[in-house]
Amino acid sequence: MEELRGVDLLPEPGEPKILSAIDPSTSGHESQCRAEVTGWAPIVPNALPYQPRRIFSLASGVVVALFLGIILLLWQSNLLLLQLPPPTSEWAFDESEIRELQSDGLSGEDVRVCMVDTGVSLTHTALGNADVEFKDFVGNSIEPVDYGSISHGTLMAGLLLSTGVQTGIAPNVTLGMAAALSADGENNTGSETRVAEAIRWCIFEFEADIISLSLGGVQDQSASREGPAVSATRQAVDAGIFVVAAAGNDGGGGDDGFVSAPGNVNLVITVGASDKNGDTWEKSSEGGLVDSDGNPRSYPHQKPELTAPGVDILSTGENDQWYTSSGTSDATVFVAGALSLILEAHPELKPNEGSTVSCIELVKRALADSMSTNMEHDSTDGYGQLKAKGWLDQVAVDTNC
């Protein structure tokens, strides 16, 4: 091209295919033009004086000390701890078909459940919406209080009523809590007379539909008369009130072959414990073949009647904490809670002034039929494992009692 005649073509550094047009007549182009036209020129850096870095100084030491002090303060106040939700026992609610009944809208509304236990503490946030009537047979407290070792009553109440991390079995029931047991070392104990008084409070003052007894004593086969707690339990079932009781935790090599009293009463629903795999808990008590009068037990009143989840069960504890526990106590609440949902669905089965034992017998037969199709019974497994939906379906076949 004519315009480029007389100019020099200078390749760019690093890119020889790119040529810059240089006018050789420009004064000093050899040293200036490349930098001014193309923006390329080596820059000689200015030297900086070397200053050695101090590893530690008084100021930095003060900062580190303040930082560590703040960390220690946060640690002691638990503000540094990440609050993770505890692992739930959701398997227990699924395996027992509780969640199926809840998905149908059942929550225990208008059902009255009475527990005889160590009392209850309602300071746990998961129990903030609970409807509880409290009666103290241990002390003189008007406000709800738990006298138990590891807050046993609060654990049992939480299984039924919790609305926190883990939704309870029947959170909308009205709960009557009769505090009749108290801590004795690691155990919870109470006199039979006190337990009997608490059961009668459930019957006559609280007017329970269901009495849940996560307790039990040894059956005295040589006694000429039954104990006060057994007598009060018979009084409850005779009035048409459903009683659910723990089979006991003396299974294994030391098992005496009898469920705990008052779970030995024929019309009581007596509950053993099972684990996550569906196996009966090794400490769940065995039931005898004859009743306290020496008569053979017959279907559907053989003991225990069933097992329910009772191993490593999560529930509400003290100081807003969550505890796990194992025992036929936990299993008892699962059955009492399932029965609460059934009575909500069929309020005609609830006790009234003219009630007899006929509705209890109907419901117990439906329970056994829902688990065992051939009337088979095992001395520790009962008729099978709790299946709340199957129990409700079996009850619905005939509610005429």
For residues 271 and 282, what is the distance between their CA atoms, to the nearest angstrom?
14
Q: How far lies 350's CA from each of 207, 241, 368, 370, in Å?
A: 11, 8, 19, 20
Q: Is 329 a catalytic residue?
A: yes
For 211, the 3-state DSSP assignment is strand
- Cβ 156 vs Cβ 214: under 8 Å: yes
Quickly list DSSP for 72-139.
Answer: HHHHHTTTTS--PPPPP-HHHHHHTTHHHHHHTT-S-TT-EEEEEESB----SGGGTT-EEEEEESSS
Helix (H) or strand (E) holding 314: strand 313-316
From the number of C-beta atoms within 10 Å of its C-beta (0-12, 13-18, 19+), residue 17 rates as exposed
Q: Is 152 a catalytic residue?
A: yes
For residues 286 and 382, what is the distance between their CA atoms, to the nearest angstrom?
9
Catalytically annotated residue among 152, 162, 285, 325 = 152
Length of the chain, please?
401
Catalytically annotated residue among 329, 340, 370, 372 = 329
Catalytically annotated residue among 96, 117, 136, 381 = 117
What residue ranges in 166-284 does DSSP mark as E strands? 174-179, 182-184, 187-189, 210-213, 242-246, 269-274
Show the tokens assigned to 74: 């946060």
**Which residues form the catalytic set?**
117, 152, 329
